[in-house]
Amino acid sequence: MTKVTMTVNGKTVSGEVKGNTLLTEFLREDLRLTGTHVGCDTSQCGACVVHVNGEAVKSCTMFAAEADGAEVKTVEGMANADGSLSVIQQAFQDYHGLQCGFCTPGMVMSAAALLKDNPKPTEAEVRDYLEGNICRCTGYHNIVRAIMAASGQDVPAVAAE
Amino acid sequence: MPKDHGIGASPKRREDVRFLTGAGNYTDDINVHGQAYVHFLRSDLAHGKINSIDTSTAEGMPGVVRIFTGADFEGVGGLPCGWQVTDKHGEVMKEPAHPVLAQGKVRHVGDPIAAVVADSLEQARTAAEAIVLDIEELPAVVDMGKALESGATKVHDDLSDNLCYDWQFGTDTETTDAAFKSAAHVTTLELVNNRLVANPMEPRVAVGDYSRAGDDYTLYTTSQNPHVIRLLMGAFVLGIPEHKLRVVAPDVGGGFGTKIFHYAEEAFCTFAAKACNRPVKWTSTRSEAFMSDAHGRDHVTKIELALDKDNNFLAVRTDTKANMGAYLSTFSSSVPTWLHGTLMAGNYKTPAVQVNVKAVFTNTVPVDAYRGAGRPEATFQLERVIDMAARELGVDPIALRRQNFITQFPYATPVAVEYDTGDYEATMAKMEELMDIGGFAARRKASEAKGMLRGLGVNCFIEACGIAPSNLVGQLGARAGLYDAATVRVNATGSISVMVGAHSHGQGHETVFPQVVAEMLGIDESMIDIVHGDTSKIPFGMGTYGSRSLAVCGSAMVRATEKIINKAKKIAGHLLEASDSDIELKDGMFSVAGTDKSVAWGDVTLAAYVPHNYPLEDIEPGLEETAFYDPANFTYPAGAYACEVELDPETGKVTIEKFVSADDFGNVVNPMIVEGQVHGGIAQGIGQALLENCAYDENGQLLSASYMDYAMPRADDIPHMASYVVDHSCQTPCTHNPLGVKGCGEAGAIGSPPTVVNAVIDALHSGGHTHVSHIDMPVSPSRVWAAMNGQ
């Protein structure tokens, strides 16, 4: 067992982990941050995306020990300080960008990472960026609209082009 | 102006905040104090005889609580099938035993052989590796045609062969044959409806818990219908009476049919919780899901369409082989029969329709309902053969369809159902308008200038939803009623909890159902909450599938709310010293007609619970009503879909450039949610048409058991927003339920696969590849390229 210490959603946390404990297991089982989901076992669905030191990471592909000393952000840490939904979260609700909600945490975290690097993505860039996030409910249409809206773009105008 | 509340409005979903902040409560998020974990050792052979299972070493390994095999389930019931089909000779279907853990033989890759319960999942997995299996591999039957050959290896030794049933339905043979003899033209098409895996993003999970103190059980499970699981598992598998068994399906991450069924893992965790005297938890991996979730589709069909000299449809005849897999899953037998044969008339007034279906056992994962369930298979055959006929006859495929539309309602089809209402011309015209069919020639020219081929595909569809009238389905072999139930509990201060049998796993019931009650009572939606997913809280309802939630459970909720209104009017009449027949309810106020005397909703509800001034001699205190609703008929959503594809003749790659759906769902309560349902269904239909395929090799090895091998639609497989419209403005309300709703959950998945394939064939013909009359789904680049090149 190895002791790890990291900052998760702004709080310093520590725990004893095995060498093969995945970051997603540490978050879900040890910290009980169950917003991060596991939808596959081949690192493809993206339901487990979190931010590690500001970068989007599939937490099922990273050992908890590798995140020692890192700054980790999960969907539980995405709302505004007053508890209201962040711009991206609010856009997902406004544009009905979620149905069952299972892929949603990964979608929100991926969207945030996209908009950090590319604040005004084209529709094609949004669709391309979501290659690593699978949704079975929405058909992606409203997720793409939500992300475009969260970036401040006029979605009806884009749709009318 | 669109409405901002009540029926017809699109309020933001109240479910969303918890899902967007990580506060959802899915089954895998539930941990019961002291729980152990189970790992299932599954067969890696498609077919084999179990000679021995040696668990002695594994039992001594660290953390192991107990190891179970099929022997532990001797005397325990098998997993039941909920629908008994009677074949064309009047004999009931063959119904092999389906044990919780394999007994004697393994029959598909993934068949559970042993279950290791341990303190940790890792310990359970490690111990499972130490179990020594002696399994003699047997030849596997995978291809349905070969499975039906005489002398074929039998999946079940105690059955005479691999034929589950040989079913015939609709017009008699003599009449059908005569129609074909008189035909001026007959079009024949052989096709495959590809095997799919539903793949809700949340894998299945089960947590069983047992209390010695009360001798009662709780099962937390990823289910679309907790009461169905309680009944099936309690009564048929484990022998637990309902009052000792609670089934909870909390937030469920998508279902698409595959979470309807009662699965072995649910029964195992419940059984083992008592046997081990510890809660037992199972969480499926995705790889495990591919080999243990029921699959969908997998039909092989020959369809013939007879037309007279004026291109009127005379007859349709189909011959289908439907894969059941190795065992009969809960509703498997009904899918190729009553959910498929009854829709073979489509939107057309074809006088003779005969459907023949052979259901076949093979050494593959059981096959059952997946979004649309039987209706996509019916639509695909019919709309493909009509398109092919139009091409053979050189007529416009839209005109050919129009000419044969049913236009008078109600309409009794030759395949047992009566369409109550519809307007197929309206949806066709709406589709043509939104698709800008007139501009297609120019768009094709532009594509050709880039070296691409462009095709236009159109089709119609109809489905039978709002499942289902109990007396009818009972005659057809259903072993359950298919009503639903709702309890409206009005609290003292006027807030309301509505307990419903329907289950929401993405559909947004918590938002939509209050819109209906709020509209009826004239109060704010925020005063109403929906309770679902827990058999200890909700009335006995049948759950959510078959686009039934609003049509059936919503109708029960309306009936219960009507009872509330009737009683509340009596109370209001007493308070206002008027006859209750003179009381009107509007905007949350009860008033005496023609006067200014009124009393507010909250005063009436308070009087019901604080009955100091109350007609106790006439009515009971309290304000809570339950209604069960059994539909008089199915509902019949219908529509017209169109798409344009670009096809790269160099590679065979197909891209969807434009997609339009024009649906008639009857009345619509929440347009935003309806459109979301259609988007999701169309994405799954595009997935089936272009990407998805569950593949087995000839030995029964599952080749597509992960997202590396099974192509799920991604965001860039779906048309861009500027060229994608889902419309539901054509509305012919259902005539037999109180809301006039028809259901929208499955339409997209039913309507869209033939749209895409029709467009691909059109593109190929435009490029001179006129020898290609059909390509089976998924229409992958390699299949297109092979077809273009005559391979």
Extract the tokens encoding B569.
């009017």
pLDDT above 70: residue B480: yes
Task: Count H helices and E strands in chain A, helices first.
Answer: 6, 5
Q: Is the peptide bond before B637 cis (omega within 30 degrees of 0)?
A: no
Cβ contacts of B707 on chain A, cutoff 8 Å? 40, 42, 44-45, 134
CA distance A71 to chain B (A): 18
| Confidence check: pLDDT of A143 > 80 | yes
Nearest to B270 by CA among B307, B300, B233, B302: B233
Strands B245-248 and B216-221: parallel
- Section B303-332 average pLDDT: 98
Q: What's the average model confidence in pLDDT over B181-194?
A: 98
- Search chain A and give the residue with CA nearest B197: A136
pLDDT band of residue B514 (cuts 50, 70, 90) is: very high
Quickly count: other Cβ atoms within 10 Å of residue B620's Cβ. 11
> Between B253, B676, B724, which is nearest A138 by CB?
B676
Q: What percent of chain B has pLDDT over 90?
A: 99
Model-wide pTM > 0.95: yes
Task: List the one residue out of A103, A85, A93, A138 whose CA is nearest residue B511.
Answer: A93
State how far residue B288 is from chain A, nearest Cα, in angstroms: 10
Report the pLDDT value the prediction gives residue B790, as an integer from 0 to 100: 87
Which residues make up the CATH 3.90.1170.50 domain(s) of chain B? 31-83+97-138+201-254+259-292
Q: What is the pLDDT of residues A39-57, one digit of tens each?
A: 999 999 999 999 999 999 9
Give the model's pLDDT for residue A35.
Answer: 98
User: How many whole angstroms separate alpha carbon B344 and alpha carbon B318?
Assistant: 9
Nearest to B562 by CA among B743, B739, B741: B739
Backbone angles phi, psi at B301, to 5 degrees: -135, 140
Q: CATH number of the domain at B295-393+400-468+633-788, out of 3.30.365.10, 1.10.287.470, 3.40.50.620, 3.40.50.2300?
A: 3.30.365.10
Torsion of CA A9, A12, A16, A20, to 10 degrees: 40
Q: CA B340: distance to chain centroid?
A: 13
- Structure tokens belonging to residue A116: 């950090």
Q: Mean pLDDT for chain A?
A: 97
**SS3 for B191?**
strand
pLDDT tens column, B712-734: 999 999 999 999 999 999 999 99
Half-sphere exposure of A77 (CA within 13 A, CB side): 19
Chain A residues close to B254, C-beta within 8 Å: 99-100, 102, 136-137
Among A98, A123, A139, select the one facing B679 at the smallest CB separation: A139
What angle is formed at CA B375 by the lines to CA B371 and CA B379, rounded to 5 degrees?
120
Q: Do A78 and B722 touch (CB under 8 A)?
A: no
Mutate to test the interface with A, among B33, B721, B752 (most CBs of A within 10 A): B721
Domain(s) of CATH 3.30.365.10: residues in chain B = 16-22+483-629, 295-393+400-468+633-788
Domains of chain A, each with CATH number or no CATH: 2-77 (3.10.20.30), 87-153 (1.10.150.120)
pLDDT at B518: 98
**Alpha-carbon span B666 to B688, nearest angstrom:** 27
Query: Is B605 in contact with B568 (CB distance < 8 Å)?
Result: yes
Q: Are B712 and A108 in contact (CB < 8 Å)? A: no
Q: Identify which of B356, B353, B376, B343 has the alpha carbon closest to the alpha carbon of residue B165.
A: B356
The shortest C-alpha distance from A55 to chain B (Å) reads 19
How far is the C-alpha of B128 from the C-alpha of B61, rounded, in Å? 10
**Does A138 contact B286 at a Cβ distance shorter than 8 Å?**
no
- Shortest distance, CA B623 to any CA of chain A (angstroms): 33
- Whole-number Å distance between alpha carbons of B25 and B217: 20
Phi-psi region of B556 (alpha: psi -120 to 50; beta: other; left: phi over 0): alpha
B679 contacts on A by Cβ (under 8 Å): 138-142
**In this model, does residue A1 exceed pLDDT 70?**
yes
- The pLDDT value given to residue B606: 98
- Are B715 and A144 a contacting pair at CB < 8 A? yes
pLDDT in tens, B598-620: 999 999 999 999 999 999 999 99
Q: Do B202 and A39 touch (CB under 8 A)?
A: yes
| pLDDT score recorded for residue A160 | 83
CB contact (8 A) between residue A141 and residue B721 = yes
Q: Which residue does chain B place closest to A36, by CA atoms?
A: B22
For residue B683, the chain A residues in CB contact (below 8 A) are 138-141
Q: Kindly report the CATH number that applies to the domain delimited by B31-83+97-138+201-254+259-292.
A: 3.90.1170.50
Q: Do A85 and B17 touch (CB under 8 A)?
A: yes
pLDDT surpassing 80 at residue B485: yes
What is residue B1's predicted lDDT score, i.e. its pLDDT? 63
List chain B residues with CB under 8 Å of A159: 721-722
- CA torsion, ordered A32, A37, A39, A42, to nearest 10 deg: -80
Pairs of residues, one from chain A and one from chain B, whose beta carbons lie less than 8 Å apart: 186
The two beta strands, B299-307 and B245-248, are unpaired
Mean pLDDT of B629-638: 97
Q: Mind telling me how many Å the CA of B252 is from chain A's nearest CA?
A: 7
Using an 8 Å CB-CB cutoff, list chain A residues near B676. Answer: 96, 99, 137-138, 142
Give the C-alpha distances (Å, rounded to integers) separating B207 from B38, B201, B258.
Answer: 10, 19, 18
Q: Cα torsion for B51, B52, B53, B57, to the nearest 10°?
A: -150
Rounded CA separation A35/B251 (Å) = 12
By Cβ distance, the residue of B12, B28, B722 closest to A93 is B12
Most B CBs within 10 Å: which of A33, A134, A137, as the mutation test of the B interface? Answer: A137
Q: Residue B791 — pLDDT band, cuts 50, 70, 90?
A: confident
Residue B2: the pLDDT is 73
Helical axes A104-117 vs A141-150, angle rounded to 10°: 40
For residue A161, pLDDT over 80 is answered with no
Predicted pLDDT at B623: 98
User: By the 8 A CB rule, do B601 and B523 touch?
Assistant: yes
Q: Give dist(CA A125, CA B675) in Å, integer.
A: 24
The answer, yes or no, to whether residue B535 has pLDDT greater than 90, is yes
Phi, psi for residue B329 in degrees, rounded to 5: -70, 170
Mean pLDDT over B332-339 rounds to: 97
- Report helix, strand and coil shares of chain B as percent, to nearest 5: 30, 25, 45
Q: Is the pLDDT of residue B653 over 70?
A: yes
Q: Which tokens hold the place of B96?
A: 């092999």
Q: Which of A73, A76, A66 is nearest to A23 (CA)?
A: A66
Average pLDDT over chain B, rounded to an integer: 97
Q: What gap in Å lies between CA B327 and CA B366, rounded to an integer?
A: 6
Which tokens hold the place of A18?
């095995």
Phi and psi at residue B621, to the nearest 5°: -70, 175
With an 8 Å Cβ cutoff, are A136 and B505 in contact?
A: no
Q: Are the Cβ atoms of B707 and A42 closer than 8 angstroms?
A: yes
Q: What is the 3-state secondary structure (H, E, C) of B253-319?
A: CCCCCCCCCCCHHHHHHHHHHHHCCCCEEEECCHHHHHHHCCEECCEEEEEEEEECCCCCEEEEEEE
- Which residue of chain A is at minimal alpha-carbon distance from B27? A34
Q: How far is B412 from chain A (nearest CA, A)?
A: 34
Which 3 state secondary structure label does DSSP give B515? helix
Is the confidence at residue B380, as pLDDT, over 90?
A: yes
CATH 3.30.365.10 fits B16-22+483-629, yes or no: yes
- Cα gap A59→A159, rounded to integer Å: 34
Percentage of chain B modeled with pLDDT above 70: 100
Q: How confident is the model at residue B352 (pLDDT cuts 50, 70, 90)?
A: very high
Interchain proximity B201–A145, CB inside 8 Å: no
